[in-house]
Amino acid sequence: MKNKHLEHIEDNILAGKQGAVDAVKFLTSKENKVSVKYDGAPAIVYGVNPENNRFFVGTKSVFNKVKVKINYTHDDIDRNHRAVPEVATILHTCFDTLPKNDGVYQGDFIGYAGSDNHTPNTITYKFDDRIDSMIMATHTKYIGNTIKDMSAQFHYRATNDDNVHFIDTNANVGKRNLKLDLLTTLARTIIPFVKFPHDDDIAQLKVSINKYIRSGRSLDADQLAKDTGYSKNLFHLYNMIIEIKELIMEGITTTENVQCLHDSMPYEHEGYVMSNDYGTFKLVKRQQFSYANFQKCDS
């Protein structure tokens, strides 16, 4: 599994009854690994290719199935990424700066050296002091003998060196809100009475939900049922999973001391990545962060 696109945990219920059961089990697990989902850009994949022992940098296009873009030299970067000069410039800096350790890693570019605040994407990150090295939020290590067949190990913690400040992405789930037990019991009760979508309809349902979020509308179960033709119980369950998820997020504490801002106002982290025996999913307050991100993309 590559860390190219993680699902929102609430979207797991769209995969059917078992997906809904697994979503509840995921959210009730007490044995979790959690890391902060930093709003960096672009995602950087880097390391030593085990197939040829050469250091490389790239974006997620390293994992493309057809046109693979792995950059072993500055010329490779110019050739593969000349259409997006800003990304090419970042990759050139990463090529010269990132440690050339064995292994393949993935992280998010946060900023260049010499400032105490950086806005790589939607969120501005303000540190206590100026950081005089490039800043990365590396969170994933890949295991395998070929790039094509590598699998992701989430929640990786990189070690700082003189050239790179690696943000500590570690986080912990604190004491669970008592309301969680009530909501998860109710969710289990509702699942047998939900008509889940056909496989062919899942993609369109996700589009419909994202349209609501993009426009800043609440995910009203009655209206979604009218718009999609599925029963409102499906969307009541969907909203219940969101509420459970956000209660868990309220109890998460982070390790790195960094202030998040949006439009110069205090803001929360983009979200978190959580793993346990039932999978790895992203926990994001979509009607807050995803809406803000959509607005930036649309502007």
pLDDT in tens, 223-264: 999 999 999 999 999 999 999 999 999 999 999 989 999 999
Residues 57-113: tens digit of each pLDDT: 999 999 999 999 999 999 999 999 999 999 999 999 999 999 999 999 999 999 999
pLDDT at 276 over 60: yes
Determine the Cα angle at 244 with ends 242 and 247, to 5°: 110
Q: Which tens digits make up the pLDDT trace of 278-293? A: 999 999 999 887 666 6
Q: Quick one: DSSP state of residue 72?
A: S
CA 63, CA 4: separation in Å to the nearest integer?
8
The answer to whether the bond into 42 is cis (omega within 30° of 0) is yes
Share of the chain above pLDDT 70, in %: 95
Here the tokens at position 152 are 């992701």
**Residue showing tokens 């982070």:** 254
User: Distance between CA atoms of 148 and 51, rounded to whole angstroms?
Assistant: 10
Return the closest-CA partner of residue 119 out of 296, 274, 1.
Answer: 296
CB atoms within 10 A of CB 244: 25
Cβ neighbours for 29, distance < 8 A, ≥ 6 positions apart: 276, 277, 278
The rounded distance, in Å, linking the Cα atoms of 296 and 78 is 27
